[in-house]
Structure formats: C-alpha cells, structure tokens
Amino acid sequence: MKDIRQITTEALKKVKDSDALTLESIKAEYLGKDGVLTQILKSLSSYSIEDKKRIGSEANNAKSIIVAEIKNKKESLKKFLFNEKMRNEKFDYSESFYFPFSKGSFHPVIQMINDITAVFKSLGFSVAEGPEVETDWYNFEALNIPDSHPARDMQNTFYVEGMKALLRTHTSPGQIRAMEKHKPPIKVIVPGKVYRNEASDAMHFSTFHQVEGLAVDENITFVDLMTLLSDFVHKLFGSDTNIRFRPSHFQFTEPSAEVDMQCIFCKGKGRCRLCKSSSWIEILGCGMVHPNVLKAVHYDSRKYTGYAFGLGVERLTMFKYGIDDIRLFYENDLRFLKQF
C-alpha cells in the first residue's frame, strides 16, 4: 500500500495543476467510489485494531485536506473564468433586445412642476428648495403671522411634539430662506410639497404642492407682478387665456390679491363641468411683500420693494387635464397614472 502522506502530496499537486475539465476526474481518482483513499478506508477491516485506528485517521485526515483543496481550486477557477469572460466580452451597442418592463413616466403633478419651472426660468427666475419640516419662525413669525394671530387658523398643520417644528403649510418660508441667503436683486421660485391639517374632499387634500415666487429689487411695483403673471399664464396655457385679480388678504403681502384664470375648456362660455360654469378658476395668491417681512430678513424696506405669489400646482394640473378629484393624484392607481 502506498504511503498516505505520499498519496496526499501527489493529489494536492494534481489539484494544483488541474483545470476545470480535469478537476472532477482528480476528485473521482482519490475520493470516488473506487478512489485511492476510498479503497484504503474500505480495506481497514483486514488490519489490526491499532493499524485500523492509525491508518483510518490518517486517511480521513488526507481526505478532508484534499476536499478542502479541491474546493479552493474550484473557487479560484471560477474567479479566473469570470475575469477572463469580462476581459473578452464586448458590448454591442447596436444590438437590440427585448426589455420586459414598460417605461415609466413622471407623475402628472411633477410634470406640471417641471413645466411651471421651465416657464419661470425663461422669465429670468432661479429655482430654490426649502425643507418640508419647518420652524415656526419661517412658516409664520417671519411672514408677519405672530403667535396666536387668527390668520394661523387658516393654516392648521401637523406639529412635531415638544419642538417648535411643523410641516410647512405653504412654500412661503422659501421666501424668507431665499432673502436670508441673497441680497437684492432677487428673482426666485420655490416649488415643493406642503401640508395642512384638513379633511379631504374633491378639491382638498392634506398634502399638496405649491410653487412660490419672489422678486425683490428697487422700484418693483404691482404692475410688474401683473405683467409677470399674465406672461406666465400665456406661456403655459396659450396667449388667449385671460387672468383677473381679486382683492384679498395675506399677512405677508400688502396689497394682496387672488388670481383667477379663464377656463381653458369653455373659454368663459359657461355650462362647463370643470369651472362649474363660473368661467374662472382660482390659481394663486399674491401681493407686494409686506415691509415687516423685509424687516424680518434685515432688508431696507425704504429702499426695496418686491412681489410674491404662491401657485397651487394640483389645481393647475386638474385644470389642464380636466381632472375633477384631487385625491386621484395620491391613490397610485396605475389606470389613472398611465394616462399621462
């Protein structure tokens, strides 16, 4: 009988020099049914008890060493073959293949934000973003809405317990953040998500989107605001779409107005499901920046004036596509979303 140590050395050398094809036959040669080590283990019964013990343990030892080495070799061969494949593989850009998933699309509200942003960019505005979790200061105080002012009732929200933090009720805190960062002249829009604690119906939901706008410089007047908003609506909905200003009140603008846009479906002819035959649809709030707001960010309110506006994105999107329930935007029903 061959020396087990010799057998082991020989087997390990063969394993070392093997390739993917020969590795299996080496395994069979030593460990298979008629393998060298298997034979030795089978013949143990013919030895004395002492030899049985010694040879048995040596053979089992050799077996596990060889098994481990075969395993290692397999791993390194796998790695080698993979690297080799990567080295030789060429990507054929001209090859067409079947992609089993259909292409997604932007959510209609995001599409609308992108369209609105593109129009304001073309009118010289830059784009900024602000946090959705705001402090009381940015959402209310700096906007001339002091603690316990009745104007807060209109914008009840979700508060973070124990902190003066809340989910922003409008994008107007973006005005304050923009003015803190930059000196006038300033022309910026701030699109984003806002939250209100209110019961939902076809026109209201606790989460929606706004696009805030702000311009501050010397000699800015209400006429600049009117011109800008009518340019905006013309660019987005066509030059035959009229807008109108209605007096309103916001704590952070003076004077303030709400803007309605003529119904693009009935063009003011009435008997319309979308505008409920009123011919006009409210799209935003706006006004001249209140001097107290300018003071809050340490702007010289005698030198500078400005205008601000806040657009409701869902409203415009519903209007554009004739959607009559805001809740459809948030149900994630693919039958609805695939239409855009």
Q: Residue 23, CB half-sphere, CA atoms under 13 Å: how many?
A: 17
- The least CB distance from residue 106 to ligand PHE, in Å, is 24
The residue among 42 and 249 lying less far from ligand PHE, judged by its C-beta, is 249
**Two tokens at 302?**
């005698």
Scan for tokens 């805190």, then name that residue. 173
The CA R_g of the chain, rounded to the nearest whole Å, is 38
The residue among 108 and 174 lying less far from ligand PHE, judged by its C-beta, is 174
The residue among 184 and 213 lying less far from ligand PHE, judged by its C-beta, is 213
The residue among 116 and 286 lying less far from ligand PHE, judged by its C-beta, is 286
The residue among 70 and 284 lying less far from ligand PHE, judged by its C-beta, is 284
Distances in Å between the alpha carbon of 68 and those of 12, 62, 71, 83, 212? Answer: 10, 10, 5, 23, 68
The residue among 146 and 322 lying less far from ligand PHE, judged by its C-beta, is 146
The residue among 29 and 217 lying less far from ligand PHE, judged by its C-beta, is 217
- The least CB distance from residue 290 to ligand PHE, in Å, is 9
Distances in Å between the alpha carbon of 295 and those of 8, 19, 283, 302, 310? Answer: 89, 80, 28, 10, 21
- The least CB distance from residue 222 to ligand PHE, in Å, is 13
- The least CB distance from residue 309 to ligand PHE, in Å, is 5
Amino acid, res. 254: E
- The least CB distance from residue 250 to ligand PHE, in Å, is 4
Cβ(3)–Cβ(40) under 8 Å?
no
**Strand stretches in the chain, DSSP E:** 126-127, 133-135, 159-160, 165-167, 186-195, 207-217, 243-250, 253-262, 280-289, 305-312
Q: Which residue is nearest to ligand PHE (CB)?
A: 310
The residue among 144 and 253 lying less far from ligand PHE, judged by its C-beta, is 253
Helix (H) or strand (E) holding 181: helix 173-181
Q: Is 73 exposed, middle or buried (0-12, 13-18, 19+ CB in 10 A)?
A: buried
Q: Residue 171, CB half-sphere, CA atoms under 13 Å: how many?
A: 28
Q: Is 219 left (phi over 0), alpha (psi -120 to 50) or beta?
A: left
The residue among 4 and 288 lying less far from ligand PHE, judged by its C-beta, is 288
For helices 4-17 and 49-88, give the axis angle rounded to 10 degrees.
Answer: 10
- The least CB distance from residue 244 to ligand PHE, in Å, is 16
- The least CB distance from residue 237 to ligand PHE, in Å, is 20
CA 138 – CA 136 distance, rounded (Å): 6
- The least CB distance from residue 105 to ligand PHE, in Å, is 28
List of residues contacting ligand PHE (CB under 6 A): 170, 172, 250, 253, 285-287, 308-310
Scan for tokens 């806040």, then name that residue. 310
- The least CB distance from residue 100 to ligand PHE, in Å, is 44
Cβ(331)–Cβ(207) under 8 Å?
no
